[in-house]
Amino acid sequence: MSFLQKMFGAGGKDKGMPTTGQAIQKLRETEEMLIKKQEFLEKKIDQELDIAKKNGTKNKRVAIQALKRKKRYEKQLQQIDGTISTIEMQREALEGANTNTAVLQTMGDAAKALKAAHQHMDVDKVHDMMDDIAEQQEVAREISEAISNPVAFGQDIDEDELERELEELEQEELDNELLNVPAAAALPSVPTVEPIAKVSSRSVPAQEDDDDMKELAAWAS
């Protein structure tokens, strides 16, 4: 029976078979133990190498024995390295399987919950309900449009007729203003002061002509 079989049981039918989490924990503990064993063997190898160096020229037999022990330790160390690699791969595989199991369990629970939620729903009823909602939204839209439109009172009146009536009213108002203007204000006042005659540059010679005519008339008589 192998080491792993001793740890996890001889067969899958064993009722005492550990769970995935327990198996991962045991693998970690074993890995830590083997790492400590590695460190111990590395120290022993260094010690035997020192012994071989110190006795290489003094005591050849002691040096040879130290080298033999060093070789055995190195072989054990090599075996432990392989075992640790195997344990690491197994642990990673179990961790992946454990993760997949948890994911599948969660997905299964979610599927059950979704199925239970849909048990109280009917697709046809949902479609009918959505149709009713759409219909009510259309009614609400029409009501909003009707409320927002101005009242239709007076919309049949001719706009051109209103324009003509307005022009007549404006003309009538203008006529009234012209009739109410006072007459005195319309014409300027006549001046009462006699204007001063402009003195002509020929007034003095004209006076002299009159005196001559008088003198001629007196002589002729």
Instruction: Locate the domains of the chain by residue range.
Output: 19-118
Residue reference for tokens 């001719």: 158
Ramachandran sector of residue 154 (left: φ over 0; alpha: ψ -120 to 50; beta: rest): left
Residue reference for tokens 């454990």: 98
End-to-end CA distance of the chain: 196
What does the alpha-carbon distance between residue 147 and residue 141 come to, in Å, rounded to a whole number? Answer: 10
The tokens describing 80, both together, are 């432990």
What does the alpha-carbon distance between residue 173 and residue 176 come to, in Å, rounded to a whole number? Answer: 5
Q: Is 211 helix (H, G, I), strand (E, B) or coil?
A: helix
Of 31, 97, 98, 43, nearest to 70 by C-alpha is 43
Of 71, 86, 84, 79, nearest to 34 by C-alpha is 84
Domain 19-118, what fold? Helix Hairpins (1.10.287)
The tokens describing 212, both together, are 């001559």
For residue 73, the model assigns a pLDDT of: 94
For residue 166, the model assigns a pLDDT of: 81
For residue 199, the model assigns a pLDDT of: 46
pTM over 0.85: no
Which residues, 6+ apart, have CB-to-CB distance to 9 below 8 Å? 16, 17, 18
Q: Which residues of 168-191 are buried (b: 16+ CB within 10 A; e: fewer)?
A: eeeeeeeeeeeeeeeeeeeeeeee
For residue 176, the model assigns a pLDDT of: 85
For residue 1, the model assigns a pLDDT of: 44
For residue 41, the model assigns a pLDDT of: 95
Residue reference for tokens 């219909």: 135
For residue 128, the model assigns a pLDDT of: 85
What does the alpha-carbon distance between residue 95 and residue 20 come to, in Å, rounded to a whole number? Answer: 8
DSSP classification of residue 177:
H
- 3-state helix vs strand vs coil in the chain, percent to 5: 75, 0, 25
pLDDT along the chain (221 residues), means of 10: 46 65 91 95 94 88 92 95 94 89 90 84 81 91 82 64 83 84 55 52 54 66 56
